[in-house]
Amino acid sequence: MLKAGVVGGTGYTGIELLRLLVMHPQVELACVTSRSEAGKAVADLFPNLRGHTDIMFTEPAADTLGACDIVFFATPNGTAMTMVPELLDKGARVIDLAADFRLNKESDWEQWYGVKHACAELLDEAVYGLPEINRDALPDARLVANPGCYPTAVSLGLLPLIENDLVDDQHLVADAKSGVSGAGRGANVATLLCEASENFKPYAVDGHRHLPEIRQTLHAVAGHEVGLTFVPHLLPMIRGIEASLYAVLKNRDTDLHALYSERYASEAFVDVLPAGTMPETRTVRGNNMCRISVFQPLAGDTVVVSSVIDNLVKGAAGQAVQNMNIMFGLSEQAGLDHTALLP
């Protein structure tokens, strides 16, 4: 059994991670930390875990966490980087669900997150944990940067087009929408029920923090810089992301559905829908699947890809567990073989 520690188990990503870990057949939940909730039973704060774990929240301690096989950070940006070097030195392996290790360049981190990086020497070592492109690097990784939710949906949606140089990659457009849980569990007027319900709005149009992450991922695939306009929106629902992706084809005679089907045929958590099928966020609610549809309206030169994920699962906690499974040689689907919740 793998001993797992979770740092910051009180947010939406943290509780989703705990839900998945307590059901994992090969994981023992060894410690869950929270400075604010230390001494309280995890199941008292999250009653859905009652009967699944009797573990208590504790203060984060390097010795305790360092004794774990794997440590997950479900913390705000900027927290993991202050603790990771010591945990790696103690022999623990780490998956960071925040953004501390997603960007390769220290200057990019400082530009987009506004603080100096505490351990920039580890940025080159960190493996970007999108298994569909970096699976081979995960078994030997000590440190994994779990991708963001928007970057997961957008990158998986565009990947086959970029890999095969089928589109003008200097004018890509990602029009993405997320449920309110993506904004986190902290108190915020903008995410109150009366503010978010019956409303739909874009935000961070001038530059979202996930933009450099998506560009970096697509750059690595294309072998050169790509041009991407990324516009996120807030939807009045709890879970889910839908990314509508637009690009101009170089050859309109390409069989796009066959291309996507072949690319993802062996991927357990990417489902290319039958031609003409419209994806829905509810079909991935609570599971680790990314469902994709590809369209070529009126057989023209524009390709439209729709990619849906649960932002808390494939967009965060589920992908972290998927990465852990690969890192430790477990079945990639272990603890993740759940159907979506309907209605």
> CA 160: distance to chain centroid?
19
149 is catalytic: yes
Distance between start and end Cα atoms, the chain: 34
Q: How many Å apart are CA 20 and CA 25, to the nearest integer? A: 10
**Angle CA(150)–CA(96)–CA(239) in degrees, nearest 5?**
35
Residues sharing a CB contact under 8 Å with residue 83, sequence separation 6 or more, in sequence order: 7, 60, 62, 65, 73
Coil vs helix vs strand at 31: strand
Q: Please give the helix or strand (H or E) that residue 324 lies within, else none.
A: helix 318-327
Q: How many Å apart are CA 136 and CA 330, to the nearest integer? A: 14
Sign, CA torsion 230/234/238/242: negative
Strands 201-202 and 143-145, how do they pair? unpaired
Q: How many Å apart are CA 147 and CA 315, to the nearest integer? A: 7
- Active-site position among 68, 149, 194, 290: 149
Please identify which residue in the block is written with the tokens 């301690």: 61
Return the half-sphere exposure (C-beta side, CA atoms, 13 A cut-off) of residue 42. Answer: 31
Count other Cβ atoms within 10 Å, centred on residue 50. Answer: 12
**164-182: b or e for each residue (b if 16 or more CB lie within 10 Å)?**
eebbebeebebbbbbbbbb
Strand ranges in 9-91 using DSSP code E only, listed in sequence order: 27-33, 57-58, 70-73
Residues sharing a CB contact under 8 Å with residue 189, sequence separation 6 or more, in sequence order: 195
For residues 104 and 216, is the Cβ–Cβ distance under 8 A?
Answer: yes
Active site residues: 149
